[in-house]
A and B are shown apart, each in its own frame.
Chain A
């Protein structure tokens, strides 16, 4: 009954390959996110979807393409993997902002450790 689940947990792949990471949440949240945690443990937002609609797209190479088939899923596809893509990728979801200025905080997945060799 995990709230936000990501697969796979670990991913080791060669440069140039294409890979996908899947994320699913069963909390009924409307908004989902992808964050990247680099080797220095710094967390930075990549994308956000609200009800299948892209609402945040930070400066991310277009080799990264998010896909949201429904509001419970947000997958991340990465083309032509590079060494610098090695990181931990976290999926998260949050409750809809019913009141302006009110944020209930995120629920995070356990992360996917991507290693590009």
Chain B
């Protein structure tokens, strides 16, 4: 079964500290992984796709197939990064259905 696990419900760091939001997935095929962000009372926005290998707002994520992980990282957190972050998976060749993790709230303190 396809599953996405975000073990931390809340991650609290100080401004300028490194951030790592953990994401592990369960899928036997070739998954497509995403990170979405939801700022307070706003819509979900696509942050990163693993196939793009891009850096957005200083965030990066590397797909590690051996560890079945797709952790989101940023070297220096900013207060405006405070939001809910969702890791999501879709299975290749299917209907495009996204399976989301439980979400991690990132709180960046001044």
Contacts and interface: CB of A to CB of B under 8 A. Distances in A.
A108 B100 CA distance: 14
Contacts of B86: 43
A67 to B, nearest CB: 19
Interface string B71-101: 0000000000000101000101101111110
A92 B45 CA distance: 11
Contact of B44 (A100, A102, A103, A108): A108
Contacts, number: 61
Given A94-B96, A108-B44, 19 more contacts: A4-B43, A41-B103, A42-B103, A43-B86, A43-B103, A45-B98, A45-B99, A48-B97, A50-B95, A55-B95, A56-B97, A90-B43, A100-B92, A101-B32, A102-B32, A103-B32, A104-B49, A109-B43, A110-B43
